Structure 1
Amino acid sequence: MPPVLDPALAGSDQSLSSAYVATVLPELAAHYGLDSDALLARAGIDPRVLAQSDALLPLVDVLRLFLVVLDASADSGLGFEVGKRVKPRAYQVLGYVILASSTLGEAIDRLVRFEALSGKLGSTRLCRDGDQVRLNWYCPLTGEPGRFLTEAAITGWVAFMRPLLPSGLAPLLVRFRHGAPQDEARYPAFFQSPVQFGAEHDGVDIAASLLDTPLNTADPGLAVLMEREARALLTDFESGTNLLSAVRAQCYQQLADGEPTLEAVAGALSLTPRNLQARLRKQGMGFQEVLDGLRQSLAELYLQDPALSLTDIALLLGFAESSSFTRAFRRWRSMSPNQWRRRG
């Protein structure tokens, strides 16, 4: 069984672009000799979601998927292997506005300003120190999830930027706060630079002079258009694309008092029920679908805890009785909660 996640993650408003997962998963599965569809099924993710390039996957679903891969691969460097397979299309508009940038410095500036477009999994900051520049990654999670996200983010930076720069350019140093993984030698081999584990910061150090390096894909005309598009998308992010995450977070908070209602969630978000439902429909979802998705994610996490009875789980999910929970779970997974629990 994959490592158990904290159920509170299901109430987080953090997310990741479905385009990112759709881009890296096939190559990652092939690398480990696994089947992508089987991994998605095990994690409870509908493959059709990955076909929606502008959709965002909740953080808990992203982590469940990659912890399923971790369970099957037993590779503590999973995040590193994910990051190696990042392509521009994984970041959609963010990727293309970076591609069109004139210099590495301009590309990094746009990464920092627009990274929320790919989800809200962490934040990037640029720190200058004399003739060196440090690009730091700040991840709010710890443990195995934090390790995975950090390695995927930092390795992804290098995998993304390397083809855009003249050959031979590499970071001065790559830093990870966590300990060294299995097969540590593959890290400096990929980064083409020293890698420090147990460091004080997560990120990469580069020579400040590299910020003026022209990108092979520079396109000033396209950059203007993509910058405009990125700004518009960022403005709409909280009120539009990220609305699903906000609704999930509110539903999670209200589950302790019973079943969340459209009216209560809308009020918490300073919206009318009609307005909230209309905006959810624009995202291809309804309120009940969002609530059901949250409950399913939580149910599968709670079922991994043997100390929780079905009655306990039903109450945690806001159901009035365990039979209602069992019927809902059969609808989600075509099996009873106990059958799911016994899968191991």
Structure 2
Amino acid sequence: MAVIDLHQAAGDERSLSAAFVDSVLPDLLVHYGLERGTVLEQAGIDPAVFQDPGRLLPLLDVMRLFLVILDACGDPGLGFEVGRRVRPRSYQVLGYVILASRDLDEAIARLMRFEKLSGNLGRTERHDSDTEVRLEWHCPVEGEPARFVREAAITGWVTFMRPLMPADAAPLEVCFRHPAPPDAARYQAALGAPVRFAADFDGVRLAPELLAAPLRSADPGLGRMMEREARVLLADFDAHGNLVSRARAALYRRLSAGEPSIEGVAADLGLAPRTLQDRLRRQGQPYQEVLDGLRRSLADIYLRDPALSLTEIALLLGFSESSAFSRAFRRWRGTSPVAWRRRRSPT
């Protein structure tokens, strides 16, 4: 487990939709011969989060889940395998508004406009010239896990769009900034386009004439309807943001100073305490649940670090003493932090 990278993700407000994760996870686990319940338990993910298709998973939880899978499979192409399993339903409204687009040009415009709806994880930029259209994806994750996030996003783009295009339509090149993996040949075979590693950007290069290619799934009526729905969802997202992730980030910044109060977190977010509590409840995650969820996630990370004592972990989580942490951990996991750490320590 890359403890330091996960630790940095704890205070990040970015997120990914639970619907995306749930759409790729079943086939991915079958591919690697893993059991869903075991993986979710090891990642500390409550299966109930997938019952709400509108739920957004904080970046910390997404990274923990896929790093658990990486620990089990050891496949450097994990992100690529995630992207290969993307389907229109993976992106929900964003996917269907793209699906109904007139042509690739309109699909790209809608992707960039409504990208936040898939979870506000990364950002796409478009650069046009006489010879090519370049779509660049800016990844928020640094360090070794970044390659998996980049490959999942960009492979997902190509996997999603290729069946909608004419049979002979393909990107000029699919580009990744990280070095090539040992089995790079599988990338080109699956994506049907040249793949360049150690490139100067993450994304795809397209021929300008490809933009006018009509999509096989084009449906102007459905497109207009889905775009109206996407505009409403985007306005709500811009007005309130992913409040749960913002609250988690504010809580993370306050944890090491002791038990974080809702008054302090609300002040950090520019809200009245009652307003914050009401909005979190409307999103299905009351304040205490958000705090417990963050502490639970961080506890799993800290317990993997043998350099941290239980007392140090308790203080990092905002508990006044290790006994309070132990009681809370038993409530979350049904076992003691010592036993949890022992089960997950390398033999």
Q: Above 0.5 in TM-score?
A: yes
Q: Deviations over 1:100-129 (max 9, x none)?
A: 111111001111111111112211111112
- Matched with 2:33 is 33
Question: 1:215 matched to which residue of 2?
Answer: 215
Aligned counterpart, 2:86:
86
Moved more, 174-183 or 148-157: 174-183
Secondary structure of the 1:178 match is: coil
CA distance in 1, matches of 2:2, 2:275: 39
Q: 1:238 to 1:318 in 2, by over 3 A?
A: farther
Q: Which runs of 5+ in 1 are unaligned?
A: none
- Matched residue type, 1:342: R
**Pairing 1:68-87 to 2, within 5 Å after superposition:** 68-87=68-87
Deviation per CA, 1:87-108: give whole Å up to 9, x if none.
0111111111111111111001
**2:137–2:203 CA contact under 8 A, matched in 1:** yes
| Number of the residue aligned with 1:110 | 110
The equivalent residue for 2:2 is: 3
**In 1, Cα distance between equivalents of 2:129 and 2:337:** 55
* 8 A Cα contact 1:55 1:241, kept in partner: no
Q: 2:158, 2:210 → 1: CA distance?
A: 14
1:342 to partner: Cα distance: 1.1
Q: Given that residues 171 and 191 in structure 1 are in contact (C-alpha distance below 8 angstroms), is that contact kept between their aligned partners in structure 2?
A: no
Shift of 1:45: 0.6
Find the aligned partners of 1:135 and 1:341 in 2 and give their Cα distance.
Answer: 44
Structure-1 separation of matches of 2:23 and 2:211 = 28
Name 1:119's counterpart in structure 2: 119
The CA deviation string for residues 283-304 of structure 1, in whole angstroms up to 9 with x for no partner, is 1110000000011111111111
Equivalence for 1:266: 266
CA distance in 2, matches of 1:44, 1:168: 44
Equivalent position amino acid for 1:58 in 2: P
| Equivalent in the alignment of 1:138 | 138
- The residue that corresponds to 2:62 in the other structure is 62
Give 2:311's aligned residue: 311
AA aligned opposite 2:41: A
Separation (CA, whole Å) in 2 of partners of 1:182 and 1:231:
43
Provide, for residues 124-155 of structure 1, a one-character-per-residue CA deviation record: whole Å limited to 9, x for no partner: 11111212111111112222221111000000
Matched with 1:203 is: 203
SS in 1 for 2:127: strand
SS, match of residue 314 in structure 1: helix
Aligned to 2:257: 257
Q: Deviations over 1:9-41 (max 9, x none)?
A: 112111000000110000000111111221111
In the aligned structure 2, how far is the partner of 1:132 from the partner of 1:8? 36
Given that residues 131 and 207 in structure 2 are in contact (C-alpha distance below 8 angstroms), is that contact kept between their aligned partners in structure 1?
Answer: yes
Q: Is the 8 A contact 2:6 2:64 kept in 1?
A: no
Alpha-carbon distance between aligned partners in 2 of 1:335 and 1:256, rounded to the nearest angstrom: 24
Q: Secondary structure at the match of 1:183?
A: coil
Aligned-partner SS, 2:10? helix
**Residues 1:335 and 2:335 are matched in the alignment:** yes
Partner of 2:168: 168
Secondary structure (helix, strand or coil) at the match of 1:199 reads coil
One-letter amino acid of the counterpart of residue 185, structure 2: A
**1: distance between equivalents of 2:181 and 2:147?**
10
Report the Cα distance in structure 1 between the residues aligned to 2:6 and 2:252, rounded to whole angstroms: 13
Query: How far apart, in 1, do the equivalents of 2:211 and 2:109 lie?
Result: 10
Pairing of 1:176-325 with structure 2 (within 5 A): 176-240=176-240, 242-325=242-325
Cα shift readout 1:35-65 (whole Å, capped 9, x = no counterpart): 1221111111111111210000111111111
Instruction: Return 238-247 or 211-220, whichever deviates more.
Output: 238-247
TM-score by length of structure 2 reads 0.96
Contact 1:241/1:283 (<8 A) preserved: no
For the 8 Å contact 1:22–1:51, the answer to whether it is kept is no
- Aligned residue type for 1:94: L
Cα gap change, 1:22/1:241 in structure 2, threshold over 3 Å: closer, same or farther?
Answer: farther
One-letter amino acid of the structure 1 residue matched with residue 67 of structure 2: L
Aligned partner letter, 2:8: A
CA drift at 1:255: 1.1
Cα distance change of structure 1 residues 60 and 115 upon mapping to structure 2, 3 Å threshold: same
Contact 1:131 1:209 in 2 (8 A): no
**Structure 2 portions without partners, runs of 5+:** none
In the alignment, the residues of structure 2 paired with residue 43 and residue 239 of structure 1 have an alpha-carbon distance, to the nearest angstrom, of 31
